[in-house]
Amino acid sequence: MKSSVILLLCCMSLVAIGEAGPAWAAASKGATLAQNVCSACHGPDGNSLTPSFPKLAGQGQAYIIHSLEDFKSGHRSNPIMYSMAQTLTPAEMDSVARFFSKQKMSPGTANRKFVALGQRIFRGGLPKQGVPACMACHGPAGMGNEPAAYPRLAGQWASYLVAQLQDFAHGKRKSTNHGMMNYIAVRLTPAQMKAVASYLQGLH
């Protein structure tokens, strides 16, 4: 009887290891890719030190995958990211996205003089300009919407956010959500972009 119990426990352990194996391997591969391919620009844990490169730590997995697919297809233009994405298989994209989504984003700070306007735009929008509240898509805490692949904005570099808004406004970056971000960005003034971006950098 005792030997049967031991045998049963051993079999259960092997099954558990087998089930955990693929997940562990994917996580390990994601960490390796992050170190070897992404860390030079985005930092070892996804917290870039240079504002021109976005923080990936804590970003939604679905959004990272979607972005990599857009870079690879050329839908989103960036020569460096185009080259990087060409080397990644769908499974590798999934692994590296999973790795970064599990990391903790370093908090940022907002410029106090921009907080009031930035908060108003984020939480209530600018109805007279036809600008909806940012939190309607990106969440009340700016953490994004994983099922819809809407990105996390809270804690992101303000200058990076401004650059993306400018690209949307000028048509250099095409929004895949029926052009929603192009529609919104073109209605924001440079000062409003700066204010909401600063507010988001300090949101955590």
Residue 15 has pLDDT above 50, yes or no: no
Residue 6 has pLDDT above 50, yes or no: no
For residue 68, the enclosing domain spans 2-101
d(CA 34, CA 27): 10
Better-predicted residue by pLDDT, 86 or 28: 86
**For a pLDDT cut of 90, what percent of the chain falls above it?**
81
Asked if 168 and 84 touch (Cβ cutoff 8 Å), the reply is no
What are 54-108's pLDDT values in tens digits? 999 999 999 999 999 999 999 999 999 999 999 999 999 999 999 999 999 999 9
Domain-embedded: residue 106: no
Q: Domain ends where: 78, 101, 124?
A: 101
d(CA 54, CA 8): 49
Better-predicted residue by pLDDT, 140 or 17: 140
What are 132-142's pLDDT values in tens digits? 999 999 999 99
d(CA 38, CA 18): 29
The pTM (predicted TM-score) of the whole model is 0.86
* 110: CB partners within 8 A, 6+ apart: 118, 158, 198, 199, 200, 201, 202, 203
Tokens 């996804």 belong to residue: 46
Structural domain total, the chain: 2
Residue 39 has pLDDT above 80, yes or no: yes
Examine the domain organization and report whether 7 and 94 are in the same domain. Answer: yes
Examine the domain organization and report whether 95 and 9 are in the same domain. Answer: yes
Angle at 38 between CA 166 and CA 60, to 5 degrees: 65
Mean pLDDT of 110-118: 98
